[in-house]
Amino acid sequence: MVSKLALVWEACSLFTVFSDSKLGIMKKVLIMILAVFLGNQAYAQSDDPVVMKVNGREVLRSEFAYLYRRDCATQSQPLTAKKYAEQFVNRKLKVLAAERAGLDTGFVFRKQQENYRIQLMQLQLPGRALIDSLALRLYANQQTNVGRVQVAQIFRRLPQNITPHRLHAEEQRMDSIYRALSSQPDADFTGWVKQYSDDQRPLWIDRVQTTTEFGDVAFSLPKGSYSAPFFTAEGLHILKVIDKDELPRGKSKENLAGQLWRSNTQYAGLESVAENLKAECRYTPDQVGLNELLSKGETSQTLFLLGEHPYNGAMFKRFAASYPQALKRQLDAFTTKSLLDYASRNLVNDNPDTHYALLEYREDQLATEMTDREIGQPTVDDRAGLATYFKFHKSDYKWDSPRYKGAVLHCADKKTAKAAKKMLKKLPWAEWESILQKTLNASGEEKVQIESGLFAEGDNKYIDKLVFKKGDFTSDKSKPFTIAVGRKEKAPDSYTEVLDAVRKDYQNYLSTRWIEHLKESGKVEINQEVLKTVNNL
């Protein structure tokens, strides 16, 4: 295991590489490593009492203390442990609700967790040497490599639980499309994309920002050509190369390394990570089982050992069902994933802080997704709920100074201005612009130009002069008659006029009610004596 000092040295060197970019996941990794160095180590189990139970689930003092200190380090005015416990309980209740809803079993969620775990491992297991070696490989090849490729694709997304029958049907469909394209060299590829593809966006990709399977095909095709159908972990693809860019010359190895560290994709190189882990994980292949699998396509025998733990053909079969590739590639991926999983579990056992970093990331994702599902998504189009909330809280949205709800009309002559003002006063504000186009501007000649909206002082020079009696303006020569139509208001009439503020307050209101419901239907027990000791750690 890498020493604390070495980890901090590593983190500091990384920070100089990507401090000017969006840190994302890597920022959390850096903070986690610094926390280790600063002494935020988890306590031994014998000195780690239960600080609370949330719906029967125990929370150890070390977990609470880890997150408490992490959050305090990012706040200008840290909360007391007792006050922080309220937020902590709310988060735990959301996580448990998410687990009851099965959000922790989805493919995308599990993929995110694995990606984050790999980010931690890249720092703590193989170290910077791996990324440097990958960057060196890119740097050495930059005289011959294409820098970026723009592709369009016919893409069929394959779900994790796809049945063999549907998989066969999708393969046949893509083969048919490919044969049709091959027989019609001048066919409109864009038309095929619109009709059959689950992803219709043209993409610019580079070597760092794509998977091995996708990149190998995209970068091997000449401009204007398209590929035969091929698999990736996401699904089936037929690619067409639209354009290519040369890799910028003189790009330093350090910049390439930084780009690799910032990439959120699993760049080709995990195999190298796994290879480096084989000795540490005591990887022992079983040639009898491996030979039977490769010759027959299946086996019930052991394929290899990691430590004393056997990995057999049944385990491989479950993995292969969700990873549609050639057999050898499936075996390589299964071996890589098994090594990463095994090493990650050992890392968690050896370093409690890593365990809590992974736990925090997992629970943040679950709590956020559950909140969005319960509060965020339902309120987006909940016009009745927003209107009702606004009705009972209308006084909260009073403006500090009046607004003018109406329009500025720039008219060709005085008669037109008078007719427009008379007409609009009898009609709903939302219809003004369309009515003018259908009446006074119906001949094709624009006799009236309208600027409608909700105007505060300073928003519009015409409203400032005509309504608020401030400033001045010069009318357009072609439309010299400028008038204002509307009325002053001290507060909005409808929630739509202050939609963002009302939606935010409505969501906070529903969130509070939801938390109250979770607390009423659950059970929270806090050991106040243990909680008091957190401040002394």
CA proximity to 43, closest of 74, 69, 73, 11: 69
pLDDT value of position 61? 92
> Which tokens sit at 239?
């690619």
* C-alpha–C-alpha distance, residues 311 and 320, integer Å: 14
User: Pairing between strand 146-157 and 203-206?
Assistant: antiparallel
Q: Give the three-class secondary structure for 489.
A: strand
DSSP 43: P
CA proximity to 504, closest of 422, 386, 414: 386
**What would the 3-class secondary structure string for 303-339 be?**
EEEECCEEEEHHHHHHHHHCCCCCHHHHHHHHHHHHH
Q: Which of 61-75, 88-102, 139-153, 193-207 has the highest mean pLDDT?
A: 88-102
Q: Is the pLDDT of residue 258 over 50?
A: no
- The more confident residue out of 91 and 345 is 91
> Which tokens sit at 126?
């193989």
Query: CB-based contacts of 264: which residues, under 8 Å, 6+ apart?
Result: 24, 25, 115
Residue 333 one-letter amino acid = A
Q: Give the three-class secondary structure for 159.
A: coil
pLDDT value of position 270? 60
CA proximity to 400, closest of 448, 439, 362, 456: 456
Which string of b and e fits 506-520 if b means at least 16 CB within 10 Å? bbeebbeebbeebee
- Name the residue with tokens 């500091």: 12
CA proximity to 14, closest of 103, 111, 132, 183: 132
Q: Is the pLDDT of residue 27 over 50?
A: no
Q: At what angle do helices 352-371 and 107-124 cross, to 10 degrees?
A: 150
Please, are residues 177 and 276 in contact by the beta-carbon 8 Å criterion? no
Query: CB-based contacts of 299: which residues, under 8 Å, 6+ apart?
Result: 289, 292, 293, 312, 313
pLDDT value of position 169? 82
CA atoms within 13 A of residue 22's CA, in its CB half-sphere: 4
pLDDT over 70 for what percent of the chain? 76
Number of continuous H segments (helices) and E segments (strands) in the chain: 22, 13
Q: Is the pLDDT of residue 287 over 90?
A: yes
- The more confident residue out of 323 and 124 is 323
pLDDT value of position 210? 62
* C-alpha–C-alpha distance, residues 504 and 386, integer Å: 10
- In 439-533, DSSP assigns E strands to 448-455, 481-489, 524-526
Please, are residues 153 and 239 in contact by the beta-carbon 8 Å criterion? yes
- The more confident residue out of 283 and 266 is 283
pLDDT value of position 35? 45
* C-alpha–C-alpha distance, residues 500 and 520, integer Å: 30
User: Pairing between strand 302-306 and 283-285?
Assistant: antiparallel
In this prediction, residue 481 has a pLDDT band, given cuts at 50, 70 and 90, of very high
Domains and their CATH numbers in the chain: 146-246 (3.10.50.40), 399-490 (no CATH)
Q: Which of 53-67, 199-213, 232-246, 300-314 has the lowest mean pLDDT?
A: 199-213
CB atoms within 10 A of CB 421: 15
**What would the 3-class secondary structure string for 44-88 be?**
CHHHCCEEEEECCEEEEHHHHHHHHHHHHHCCCCCCCHHHHHHHH
In this prediction, residue 4 has a pLDDT band, given cuts at 50, 70 and 90, of very low
With 0.85 as the threshold, say if the pTM is over it: no
pLDDT value of position 269? 53
pLDDT digits (tens, 9 = 90+) for 381-408: 889 999 999 999 988 988 888 999 999 9
Taking the CA atoms of 205, 210, 214 and 219 in sequence, report the sign of the dihedral they define: positive
> Which tokens sit at 25?
């996941």
Plot region of 6 (φ>0 → left; ψ -120 to 50 → alpha; else → beta):
alpha
CA atoms within 13 A of residue 393's CA, in its CB half-sphere: 17
Query: CB-based contacts of 354: which residues, under 8 Å, 6+ apart?
Result: 32, 120, 124, 347, 348
533 CB-contact burial (10 Å; exposed 0-12 / middle 13-18 / buried 19+): middle
How far is the CA of 292 from the CAs of 285, 295, 313, in angstroms? 13, 5, 10
How far is the CA of 529 from the CAs of 46, 53, 225, 368, 407, in angstroms? 17, 14, 70, 31, 65
> Which tokens sit at 345?
């579990």
In this prediction, residue 125 has a pLDDT band, given cuts at 50, 70 and 90, of low
Taking the CA atoms of 321, 323, 328 and 332 in sequence, report the sign of the dihedral they define: negative
How far is the CA of 131 from the CAs of 79, 329, 343, 378, in angstroms? 39, 23, 18, 43
Please, are residues 219 and 205 in contact by the beta-carbon 8 Å criterion? no
* C-alpha–C-alpha distance, residues 40 and 64, integer Å: 12
